[in-house]
Amino acid sequence: MANKSTLIKNAFIVNEGKIFQSDLLIVNGKIEEVKDSITSYPENTTVIDATGKYLLPGIIDTHVHFREPGLIHKADIHSESKAAVAGGVTSFMDMPNTVPAVLTQELLEDKYRLAKDKALANYSFYMGTSNNNLVEVLKTDPKNVCGVKVYLGTSTGNMCVDNPETIEQLFAKCPTLLAAHCEDEHIIEENSKAFREKYGENPSPSVHPQIRNEECCYKSSSHAVELAKKHSTRLHIVHISTVKETNLFDNKTALEKKKITAEVCIHHLWFSDKDYANKGNWIKWNPAIKTENDRSGLMQALLDNKIDTVATDHAPHTHGEKEQEYFCCPSGAPMVQHSLVAMLEFHHAKKISLETIVQKMCHAPAICFHIENRGFIRKGYFADLTLVDLNSPWTVDKSNILYKCKWAPMEGETFHSRVTHTFVNGNMVYNNQVFDESVKGMRLTFNR
């Protein structure tokens, strides 16, 4: 069973723009005290010496596809949340393109019931949209559902909303945060047709960013921003992939006051179109990984606060599915176990500070989504925490990949940093490759 109290001693705490050495006491799932030296604590408290390690708020991944229900040959809530906590992720928000697609409130609540018994991390689920389910969307409760997802271009799951009147109504009436996948469907169709005529059904995966190109992304994103401004919609555009799109976003307004925010995903920061030569379909995502200039521009936009949050778009497929010819191969790859260590690698390369990593992966998701009592190391907040050793190199290989699909685009990468402990609601769910699977996460709630 989970410990009722835990004392973490001598950690370097990274929180709210500062790094400081301190002790932290957890009692009954909450942060009880943060102090230079804590000498008074309950009997039978578990004491962890964190000397030399860094204690962060748990990572909040606001964009995952854990594939349950209906696609559990690829992944499921238990397997992927287990991988998540091993990567320091303590809360996740899962997308609606499962089978069946989450297009009714009843189907949405079905997913919450599944997670209650299976998720090792805290969870929330997006309500899905179609051309004809606006009535159901408007029933979404902002206080216990993370948001509403709209696909303005096709991706895995065929949930594209392409009726202009429906889109207009959705932006005008959405009761909570609207998360938008922005790619222009007409441009994708025209480009796909041209490349099929030229190369047949199996061109090199390097055509992916030419089919789902900058124009395709910018046209859709700019239209979404235009609609959001017109209707004062709370819009969050996910997985921005081009530097051109970053110019759509404001970096002058405080995050708490922004109506339009943006997300970048790890793979768009890590890979470029040069990597298709070696990685092929294994890094085929929608939107596509694009140029080195886009990659560096996205990192700069993150640092400049034009982009607000970092997520993964964790989207597993089986080996067999990814080994298909280009046009048959589904887009997406798993990333949730490796997102924090990848960002820490950028820190080692002096591209981003620890404080900014915590801002973009912990604080900003909590602020953007108005998550109650999470995302910060504060007295009275849920003790969602991750402890990392910045100097413990390891290499990703089949033996340590926890995704159900048993592969990762990061395979072969050596990371300097390692997650050693993860706490979810004060429970030590992960401890140096040992899991406590008896403990389950909680449904996230939102202060809206």
The model's pLDDT over 283-294, given as tens digits with 9 standing for 90+, comes to 999 999 999 999
Query: Are 101 and 131 within 8 A, CB to CB?
Result: no
Q: How many helices (H) and strands (E) does the chain have?
A: 15, 20
pLDDT(180) > 70: yes
Q: Comparing 5-56+382-399+413-435 with 59-369, is the CATH topology the same?
A: no
The secondary structure of 179-211 as a DSSP string is: EEE---HHHHHHHHHHHHHHHTT---GGGHHHH
- pLDDT at position 4, please? 86
For CA atoms 98, 99, 104, 107, the dihedral sign is negative
Tokens of 123: 């969870």
Query: Are 422 and 61 within 8 A, CB to CB?
Result: no
Residue with tokens 């047709």: 193
Question: How confident is the model over 347-381, as pLDDT tens digits?
Answer: 999 999 999 999 999 999 999 999 999 999 999 99
Tokens of 207: 């055509």
Tokens of 222: 């700019």
Distance between CA atoms of residues 78 and 75, nearest Å:
8
Question: Which DSSP letter does residue 300 get?
Answer: H
pLDDT > 70: percent of the chain: 98
**C-alpha distance from residue 371 to each of 15, 31, 143 (Å):** 17, 16, 9
Give the β-pairing of 385-389 and 418-424. Answer: antiparallel
Average pLDDT, the chain: 96
pLDDT(155) > 60: no
Query: Are 63 and 369 within 8 A, CB to CB?
Result: no
- pLDDT at position 396, please? 98
Tokens of 206: 């390097």
What band does 158 get if pLDDT is binned at 50, 70 and 90?
low
- Nearest CA-CA partner of 306 in 315, 314, 298, 295: 298
**Amino acid type, 89:** V
- pLDDT at position 159, please? 75
- pLDDT at position 339, please? 98
- pLDDT at position 1, please? 43
Distance between CA atoms of residues 50 and 56, nearest Å:
12
Distance between CA atoms of residues 78 and 437, nearest Å:
9
279 phi/psi in degrees, rounded to 5 = -95, -25
The secondary structure of 334-365 as a DSSP string is: --TTTHHHHHHHHHHTTSS-HHHHHIIIIIHH
**C-alpha distance from residue 231 to each of 139, 174, 250 (Å):** 19, 10, 17
Query: Are 26 and 6 within 8 A, CB to CB?
Result: yes
Query: Are 151 and 161 within 8 A, CB to CB?
Result: yes
CA atoms within 13 A on the CB side of 255: 20
Question: Which DSSP letter does residue 126 get?
Answer: P
- pLDDT at position 201, please? 87
Distance between CA atoms of residues 379 and 385, nearest Å:
13
Question: Which DSSP letter does residue 277 get?
Answer: H
Distance spanning both ends of the chain, measured CA to CA: 34
Return the domain boundaries, the chain.
5-56+382-399+413-435, 59-369
Query: Are 191 and 208 within 8 A, CB to CB?
Result: no
- pLDDT at position 68, please? 97
What band does 153 get if pLDDT is binned at 50, 70 and 90?
low
Q: So what CATH class is 5-56+382-399+413-435?
A: mainly beta
- pLDDT at position 157, please? 52
CATH code given to domain 59-369: 3.20.20.140
Question: How confident is the model over 406-441, as pLDDT tens digits?
Answer: 999 999 999 999 999 999 999 999 999 999 999 999
- pLDDT at position 160, please? 81
- pLDDT at position 216, please? 97
β-pair partners for 388: 54, 419
pLDDT(175) > 60: yes
